[in-house]
Each structure stands twice: as C-alpha cells, then as structure tokens.
Structure 1
Amino acid sequence: MDFRQLEYFLAIVDHGGFNRAAAALYVSQPSLSQAIQVLERDLGSSLFHRMGRNAVLTEAGTALVPPAREALHGLELARASVGAVRELRAGRLHIAAMASPTVEPLSTMVQRFTDRYPEVSLGLRIALTPADVIEMVRTGGCELGLLTTSSPLSSPDVVTHHAGDHRLVLVTPKDGPFPACRAVRREQLEGHRLIVGQRGTGIRSYVDDLGAQGIDVRIAVETEHRMAFLPLVLKGVGLAVVTESWADLSERAGALVLDLEPASLQHNVLVSRKAQLTPAARAFLDIAVDTAPRQAGS
C-alpha cells in the first residue's frame, strides 16, 4: 500500500466513479483501475461495487476511508512543514462552506488571504447544513469549514471560531406586498408564499418557527439551491427570508430587501479540525478571525 493508491481511492470516493476520478487526477482510467486492483489485492478485499460508471463503497471500502484520509492528511502536514509550503509560497487549502456565507464573509476572507498568499490555491466545497460542514471537517475532507447557525454552536469534534453575525432580511419583488424602507413584522407574513431551504439551516428554522407561533405561511418552493431563491422571487413565485449578505446582490438584481421585526441574527462560525493544522489553514484562520466583526457585546 502506498500514498498514491490511497489518493486514487479517495478520489473515486469523492467523485463517485472511476472515470470522474481519473479526469480529476489527470491520469488514465486504466492506470487508476490497475492501482485500485493492486490495493485490493494487498488488502485482500474488494473496496468498490462497480455499477456502470458509478462506484459504491463496499463495507471494507467504507472502513478504509477515515484512515486513508488521516494518512494523506499526515503526509500533507509533513510536506507542509518543510520547504515552500511552510512559507506559504505553494500549497492548497480545502474549505467547506454553506451557501449563504460564501457571499459574505467568505468572499472577503478569501480576498484577504489570496492578496497576502497569492501562490496558495483554495478549493471550496459547498455543504448544505451545519452538520454537513462539521462532518466534512471532522472526517478530513476539508481542513476548515464556514457555517451559519441561529443558536450557539457546540461540537466535540471540531474547534469553533466566531466569524461575525448577519441579520435575516426579507427579499420581495419591487412590486411586492410590502412598502419599501419599512420593516416587516413577522405576523405580516401570514398567508404569504415563501421560498425556503432544506431543514437544518437557520433560515429554514426561522420559517418553521413562524408556524410554531401560529403564523400561517405557505411554502411555495423548497430547494437546496440558494442561487435559485433570487430568480424565483423576481418571477413572483414567492418571498424569501435570507441573510443580509444577499442584500446587495438582490438589490442590484432588482429585488426589494426589507428588514424583519423583531430582528433575528444568524451566527457565522468557522470550524477547524482538532488535529494540527497545515500552515495554510492556520494562516487563513488567523486572517479570518482577526478581520471578522466582533460579536455584539464583546
């Protein structure tokens, strides 16, 4: 067993098949398959069920994923501890993020990091819920993660770092049901059609709480794709509750952005592994935490 075989194995896991993994690694599909066959013979067990173009992990394959990630992370840490990567003149950093904070504060964090370390490349992976972000960081798929949550986050599996707060706002068409420059009380949402995200997110919790308070709102569309919210609002399909990070983009697209009353905050949280971080991850974390807005009252 060698590190190249483990890298090929995890590429198949992450990309869902041999062909896609080969393309991502810039190797031929036969070379990739041969390396996995050698690994399977070495381990004495099949790692994948081949189903057409897809590859599904066997029980043995599932057991190999965590130690394989740890082994490759250890190798990356060793490489990053010497030479150019140590001085951040090279390297790559993987970050998991939910959709809303990719607008802000992630874009500002990335801009400041790349301005300072232009030769370090970043890989951004989208996660749907806070739990997804934590899992991607915990299992080693990404070194850092950025999520939003409506309540304080506590997880034994990762280290958390506050990265500022965002208010929730309401996005409507220009000719929508509410006048501009006036906050919308939550009871005024009674009877309106809303575009919502999946359960487990802070903005979905806000909408679910309306129902729990006896405010009858109607879900017009439920979608995992945050980028679908704004086009659907502009088409008149429904209204959307989003974080204020979307306000500028929404207004430039021709939508109306209104405050909600009472105000509801979403907390941006950076999470990192409890294991030692690579220099790139540590530098990104230092920049992000240092430039994040301070928590109210701190």
Structure 2
Amino acid sequence: MDILRLRYFLAIVDSGGFNRAAAVLYVSQPSLSQAIRTLERDLGTELFHRIGRRAVLTEAGRALIGPAREAVRSLETARASVESVHELRTGRLDVASMPSQAIEPLTTLIRSFSDRHPGVVVVVKAVFTAHDVIEAVRTGAVELGLLACAGPLPDKEVDTFGLGRQRFVLLVPPGDPLAGRRSVGSGELSGRRLIVGQPGTGMRAYTDSLREQGVEFSVAAETEHRVSLLPLVLAGAGLAVVTESWRDLARRAGAHVLDIEPATALSVGLVSRRGLLSPASSAFLAAAGAHVESDR
C-alpha cells in the first residue's frame, strides 16, 4: 500500500474534503481524487461517499484512520531515526496540549528544546480534555501530549512522564473587592459570577465540585476559547478559576491572581506512545526531564 496515498487519505479526513486537502497538499484536485480511487481499488472498498462536493467517510474509511495514522507515523519515525545522525538539525515534532498547560509548562519546555535543537519545528495541536490528548497520542495523530488531570496521571496505552502539579487560582479584575488580597477561601465565591470552561476540563470539574460543596455561584460565561478568559475578567464580566500556569500572564495583563484555599491541584504530565519514539520526541522528553530536575 502506497504511504503517499495514505497521507492523501488522512489529509482529506483532517481537512474535511477533497478541495481543502488538495490546497493543503499543494496538489490538483483531480490528482488527489485519482490517488484515492487507486487506494480504494487496492483495498477493494470505497472509503468515501461522494455527495455533491462533500466527501463522507464510509464505515471502511473510518476503520482505516487509525491504521493509516500509525503507518504514516511509523514511517516518519523511521525517517527521523535515519536523520538523527545529523543531530536533529531539521525536523518536526507534533505535540497535543490542553490550553492552560500550553501556557506553562509548554512554553518553557519548547524554549528549552529549541535552544538545543533550533532546526526542529514544534507544532502544537490544541485539544481540550485529557482524554482527547491520550487519543491523539494513541492513534498517532501526534507524537507527544501534554495534559492535566485531577487524579493520577494515566498510564494505560501510553507512557507517562510527570511534570509536577498546578494549583487552582482565581483571576480578579482591578477594582473588585477581592483585588489586592493574596488568597481567597473557596466559600467566598458564593454569590459571585464565574467564567467557566466546558465540561470535561479540569477547570470545569473544579468549579462543579465547588457547587457540590454548597458554594452557590452563577455562571457568567462558559467558554472553550481560553484566550477569551483574561479579556472577560478584565472587562468585569466575572471571575475565573484557572490553574496557576496563568499567574504571570494574568498579572502582566493587569488582573489580580489569588490562591484559592484550601489548595487543590492538577497533576501535569507528558504522554507518549509506547514503543519506539522519534529522535525529536526522545530529545523533547530529555529536555523535559532536565527542566524538572532544575526545579527541584
């Protein structure tokens, strides 16, 4: 089976159609269509239902996604292993990260890795839950994943490297009665308006747990877009419970950051597929290990 045709197949899946995939791949749409028809002949089944200009995956097409990603990723790992003799002068590393952890520790990890391997491009994919991070790594969509969870770090189907813990803090706008304080009791959030994340995130699980404990707050906004959190807080729309990865950024933007007592924290870690890793993945994990050691 031609690996190039599998790349074309995955590009259509990820882009949502033949025309978009052709643009991403810099090939003509007829050439792309012909490659997929050849792949379908090789497999003896249709991978897409052609409905006008739309391409809808068949059951066989859905079944091919996982094996195709693994085949493409394995080839990339093999190629990268050969290229490693050039000391990672060039290359690419795909990392899936949850939003808050993309601020920290990912910023520091990428800086440390890039200092050692400036020719390797780190491509960060946005995912919103720990489950989504694991799925992206397990299926080969990315090589590494950065996640946070309330309990122990996951260790099924992936290898895990712990990076520490991040406690929850409260973002408060200037002029708020809480501004200027260093900490706030979780019970003091009763009667306040909070900006919350979507279900499935650690931030949302924490605020839901407060309500279960009898802390009666109202929801000012629910957002998947973490970039909107600070502007909403600074505009006075509500307060936001986030992890302390936001602390420095929020303070520089003008928000006040208060520790929430009693302290509650998320475990943060990197996950990778089990088995052979690309040289770039191995180097990134090594840089992460050095970062953890330096913090001790």
Partner of 2:68: 68
103-112 or 20-29, larger mean C-alpha shift: 20-29
Tell whether the 8 Å contact from 2:179 to 2:256 is kept in structure 1 after alignment.
no
110-119 or 36-45, larger mean C-alpha shift: 36-45
Tell whether the 8 Å contact from 2:137 to 2:144 is kept in structure 1 after alignment.
yes
Mapped partners of 2:235, 2:50: distance in 1? 43
Partner of 2:137: 137
Q: How does 1:159-238 map to 2 (within 5 A)?
A: 159-238=159-238
Partner of 1:39: 39
Tell whether the 8 Å contact from 2:100 to 2:243 is kept in structure 1 after alignment.
yes
Give how far 1:49 is off.
2.5
Which amino acid in the other structure matches residue 182 of structure 2?
R
- 1:237-287 Cα shifts (integer Å, max 9, x gaps): 111001111122212222111111111212211000012101110110111
Give how far 1:120 is off.
1.2
Mapped partners of 2:122, 2:278: distance in 1? 13
Task: Give the structure-1-normalised TM-score.
Answer: 0.94
- Percent identity reads 57
Which amino acid in the other structure matches residue 75 of structure 1?
L
Mapped partners of 1:71, 1:155: distance in 2? 23
User: CA 1:294/1:55 → structure 2, altered by over 3 Å: closer, same or farther?
Assistant: farther
Partner of 1:15: 15
Q: How does 1:1-298 map to 2 (within 5 A)?
A: 1-51=1-51, 54-84=54-84, 87-292=87-292
Mapped partners of 2:249, 2:70: distance in 1? 39
User: CA 1:53/1:149 → structure 2, altered by over 3 Å: closer, same or farther?
Assistant: farther
Tell whether the 8 Å contact from 2:97 to 2:124 is kept in structure 1 after alignment.
yes
Give how far 1:55 is off.
3.0
Give how far 1:86 is off.
5.9
Moved over 4 A (4+): 51-54
Mapped partners of 1:53, 1:261: distance in 2? 55
The runs of 5 or more residues in structure 2 that have no matched partner are none
Task: Give the structure-2-normalised TM-score.
Answer: 0.94
Mapped partners of 2:20, 2:242: distance in 1? 34
Give how far 1:290 is off.
2.3
Give how far 1:52 is off.
5.3
Mapped partners of 2:135, 2:83: distance in 1? 31
Task: Please report the RMSD computed on the Cα atoms of aligned residues, expressed in angstroms.
Answer: 1.8
Tell whether the 8 Å contact from 2:173 to 2:255 is kept in structure 1 after alignment.
yes
Mapped partners of 1:190, 1:289: distance in 2? 41
Mapped partners of 1:56, 1:198: distance in 2? 28
Which amino acid in the other structure matches residue 220 of structure 2?
A
Tell whether the 8 Å contact from 1:85 to 1:91 is kept in structure 2 after alignment.
no
Other structure's SS at 2:93 match: strand
Tell whether the 8 Å contact from 2:247 to 2:257 is kept in structure 1 after alignment.
yes
What is the total number of aligned residue pairs between the two structures?
296
Give how far 1:106 is off.
0.3
Give how far 1:54 is off.
4.4
Mapped partners of 1:226, 1:179: distance in 2? 22
Give how far 1:182 is off.
3.2
196-205 or 19-28, larger mean C-alpha shift: 19-28
Tell whether the 8 Å contact from 1:10 to 1:68 is kept in structure 2 after alignment.
yes
Tell whether the 8 Å contact from 1:79 to 1:85 is kept in structure 2 after alignment.
no
Tell whether the 8 Å contact from 2:169 to 2:241 is kept in structure 1 after alignment.
yes
User: CA 1:215/1:52 → structure 2, altered by over 3 Å: closer, same or farther?
Assistant: farther
Mapped partners of 2:264, 2:276: distance in 1? 35
Which amino acid in the other structure matches residue 263 of structure 2?
A
Which amino acid in the other structure matches residue 37 of structure 1?
R
Give how far 1:83 is off.
3.4
